[in-house]
Chains A and B, each alone.
Chain A
Amino acid sequence: MTTTEHNPDRTADVLIVGAGASGAAVAASLSEAGFDVVCIEQGHWQDSFQYPTAKPDWELRSMSSWSINPNKRRLPEDYPVNVEDSAVDPVMFNGVGGSTIMWVAHTPRLHPSDFRVKSQDGVAEDWPISYEDLEPWYDLNDHVMGCAGISGDPANPPRSERPMPPIPIGKDGEMIAGAFDRLGWHWWPSDSYINSTRYGEGRDSCNFCGHNMMGCFQRAKASTDLTYWPRAIDQGAELVTGARVREITTDSSGRATGVNYLDTEGNDIYRSARAVVMAANGVGTPRLMLMSDSDRHPNGLSNSSGMLGKNLMFHMFGGSSGVFPDHEDPWVGPVANILLSQEFYETDPDRGFLRGYTFQMGRGLGPGAIARSVGGHRAPWGKDHHEVLERRFRNTISLGAIGDDLPEEHNTVTLDKSLTDSSGLPAPKISYKVSENSRALLDHAIAQGRTVLEEAGATEILINPQSRETGWHLLGTARMGNDPERSVVDKHGQSHDVDNLFIVDGSVFVTGGGVNPTPTIQAIALRTADYIINERQDLKA
């Protein structure tokens, strides 16, 4: 293969791989601080007015070209993932904005205890940073992305005011909240990166369309193509789309020198940089670093510890769905940004498992989706179909549990020996087993969820022991730590092995916590950017 250098006269200060949640945040911070930034993204810009939720066949598209699962979507910019040995399918989106295009934008924070699991519960590892270390960047991110929420949650430390009031929880939310109140259990309105009022450039308030996982037509849901990227580009950052990085290049000393990528025509192009920042998610980042092996890095780039690709965490997801025949608030409002409960978030040894989980209320979807699955239960075909569908459609509320998924070295991302992407590059292979702790945690969540739904008046409850297609949160495969023999990067996201290589996506998580991780991922990315700005001026031309 012949490689062409993009511009031999230009060496960027920082080259970022991936334009999603974390890459965009780093690009904006560094470019605003005067760094010469280039980002390489294998996907493309999205046109919000072309999102499928405005099309009559939107439910069918959610099964194919707009599936959350890259193995079903199979766009040219996607890469296949071998999941034969995995209990969970990873889900993601490749494009400017990354998975923030398809997320529900539910944005709780980790708890202080999540950073001290080893100290407090005797398992896994402690993070090299604390909640307090990260708090300023959580706050900054809330303002750039636009957080709707309210202070005073007794399950979390006090925090600064959100820039917008909460998304109203609706009559269905009030019904579930009332059940939590009667049980004496915690609940709180969800923090969301969804506009409850107009906020941000050209972004309207939510119009309660009811289905926000296929892009937001209204631009009310924050995605980084709408938030961080315009700022970064205004400051001179260059974003190259349709460009698939195949290798992080290194010099004879082992330091990163840039990347080789393939454009949409198959041209092999070299871009040089003084530093490389990986922001390609917890599967894509270890994949590319394993592909970037060399004489100086024989087991993959920055893998002297052997930890690269290990300790994959997904967040186990299961729960209960209740049918409420008298419910009169049909399918209105965000699908999962309603309320949460962290009654069972912290460890209680009497429960038979360590750590805990967050309940998230979920709303029903369109009739096609309800027919296909309520909590993993497909409506029967034949004579009973219509009665079952009518009972469930517009009357279904779920309580999903996101459980803390502790790191285990046998849960891995490796390179597949035969499966390749559309460019002929090795696909990642996921090996992932549900641990006994996770199983016990989910069983507890299902039992407690049933209690809440019954208290709220459900006449039928459907149990989902564990969903397969819920690997939204790709964590832990290049974790941070103080010990170079047990971690891949330090507390600033800087590689232990390569001092001009940084990782800012979910790969660096040490433990997973029991909440959606994106605000934490972005806070970590912003913190790393500030470290580069303040401590690594040597990377600036």
Chain B
Amino acid sequence: MTINHTTDLLTAVLDRALPPVGNLPGAGGMGLSEEVIKRCAADFRFSDALDAVVEALPSPGDFAALDDDGRDEALRAVESSNPDAFGLWLDVVYTVYYMQPDVHKRLNWHGRSPQPDGNTMPPWDESILGVIRQREPFWRKT
């Protein structure tokens, strides 16, 4: 299977999996198909899943000829016939999508990785224990 074959097909498929929202194009329109292929190549579980999904889909030309409902039906058929591969492939697609700064902006989220900046630890407030501290010990004696 050629890269172009996969890229073209994925671009159309990603637009159905993660369609346009707000000012954002779909994941295919954002140009994420090559990123998905690259990330899948780094882990053979991912690349096997990608291959299985692409193999099970119609050719790029046939897929392009389908209307939106037909494309969704084709995707659902793969999801139904090979749920494990489809699920893993979809997990990679989702994760790549949510690594994108434009997506973070739309979610109104800073998008930073957890470290090194972190967040601010709030102060410890012991008054929250007011109710539970009134309870008698109830652990089971031996």
Contacts and interface: CB of A to CB of B under 8 A. Distances in A.
B107 A53 contact: no
B98 A371 contact: yes
B43 interface: yes
B59 to A, nearest CB: 21
A368 B99 contact: yes
A57 B132 CA distance: 42
A53 B114 contact: yes
Contacts of B139: 111-113, 154-157, 346
Contact of A207 (B19, B91, B95, B119): B119
Contacts of A55: 113
Given A154-B135, A155-B139, A382-B17, A208 B119 contact: yes
A196 B124 contact: yes
A450 interface: no
Contacts of B104: 367
A33 interface: no
Interface stretch (A180-188, A317-325, A408-416, A428-436): A180-188
Given A59-B99, A368-B95, A209 B114 contact: yes
Most chain A CB within 10 A, of B18, B91, B132, is at B132
Interface in A21-79: 51, 53-60, 63-65, 72
Interface in A184-221: 186-189, 196, 205-211, 217-218
Given A63-B92, A64-B43, A168 B125 contact: yes
Interface string A361-405: 000001110011000001101110110001001100000000000
B2 interface: no
B121 interface: yes
B96 interface: yes
Interface of A: 51, 53-60, 63-65, 72, 111-113, 115-116, 119-120, 130-131, 150, 152, 154-157, 165-170, 174, 177, 180-181, 186-189, 196, 205-211, 217-218, 330, 332-333, 346-347, 366-368, 371-372, 378-379, 381-383, 385-386, 390, 393-394
Contact of A208 (B21, B99, B118): B118
Contacts, number: 166
Contacts of B131: 181
Interface in B18-54: 18-19, 21, 39, 42-43, 45-46
18 contacts: A53-B114, A54-B113, A60-B99, A111-B139, A112-B140, A115-B142, A120-B140, A120-B142, A154-B137, A155-B138, A168-B124, A207-B121, A210-B118, A333-B121, A366-B98, A368-B98, A378-B90, A381-B90
Given A72-B45, A208-B120, A381-B17, A58 B72 contact: no
B141 interface: yes
Contact of B116 (A72, A217, A368): A217
A166 B124 contact: yes
Most chain A CB within 10 A, of B119, B120, B125, is at B119
Contact of B121 (A130, A205, A211, A368): A205
Contacts of A150: 126, 129
Contacts of A65: 43
A210 B119 contact: yes
B43 A381 contact: no
B94 A379 contact: yes
A171 B104 CA distance: 23
Interface of A is mostly: loop
Interface of B: 16-19, 21, 39, 42-43, 45-46, 72, 75, 87, 90-92, 94-99, 103-104, 107, 109, 113-126, 128-129, 131-133, 135-142
A209 B128 contact: no
Nearest to B75: A381
B140 A346 contact: yes
A323 B11 CA distance: 32
A367 B114 CA distance: 12
Given A53-B114, A208-B121, A332-B119, A59 B136 contact: no
B142 A130 contact: yes
B19 A372 contact: no
A28 B140 CA distance: 34
B109 A206 contact: no
B142 A112 contact: yes
B107 A186 contact: no
Nearest to B16: A382
A154 B113 CA distance: 38
B87 A378 contact: yes
A180 B129 CA distance: 11
A70 to B, nearest CB: 13
A59 B96 CA distance: 9
A154 B39 CA distance: 50
Contacts of B132: 154, 177, 180-181, 186-188
Contact of A393 (B107, B129, B142): B107
B91 A382 contact: no
A210 B121 CA distance: 11
B131 to A, nearest CB: 4
Contact of A56 (B18, B103, B113, B136): B113
Contact of A54 (B18, B19, B115): B115
B94 A372 contact: yes
